[in-house]
Amino acid sequence: MNTDPIADYLTRVRNAAQAKHKLVEIPSSNMKKEMTKILFDKGYILNYKFEDDNGPQGTIKIALKYDGKTKECAFRSLKKVSKPGLRKYTGKDDLPRVLNGLGIAIMSTSKGLMTEKEAKLHNVGGEVICYVY
């Protein structure tokens, strides 16, 4: 049993990128699916596929994105902010800025999972899940 599935998700993606893998498979959940969609929309991953196997959970297959010349991954860091032992919440007026606006913060709000920029547009705060840059 995994106590922090989001940290496991980020670690699997981070490890696959560091090992220069093209594809990574992760056990699926609704929150992980939404995080994958955000990473794809912001250009941090190349593609993704949700597979609902015969099992109870299904998997997410993520194709990682690399630079053509330097072979560097599209993101430098995936950092978990809110942990099960210490949740990090922020109000609508104190939304985080990652690398002075170059990165994104993925947040769980009352209107669903979104980046800090989208949260500012919707005028909501919430739990800061992770930073990506």
- How do strand 78-80 and strand 104-109 relate by DSSP bridges? unpaired
86 has pLDDT over 80: yes
Strands, E, within the chain: which ranges? 23-27, 45-51, 59-64, 78-80, 89-90, 104-109, 112-115, 126-132
- pTM for the structure as a whole: 0.93
Q: What is the pLDDT of residue 57?
A: 86
Tokens standing for 130? Answer: 């992770």
Domains and CATH numbers, the chain: 5-64 (3.30.1370.30), 78-132 (3.30.1490.10)
C-beta atoms surrounding 17 within 10 Å: 22
Percent over 90 (pLDDT), the chain: 88
Count of residues in the chain: 133
Q: Tokens 């993101």 belong to which residue?
A: 75
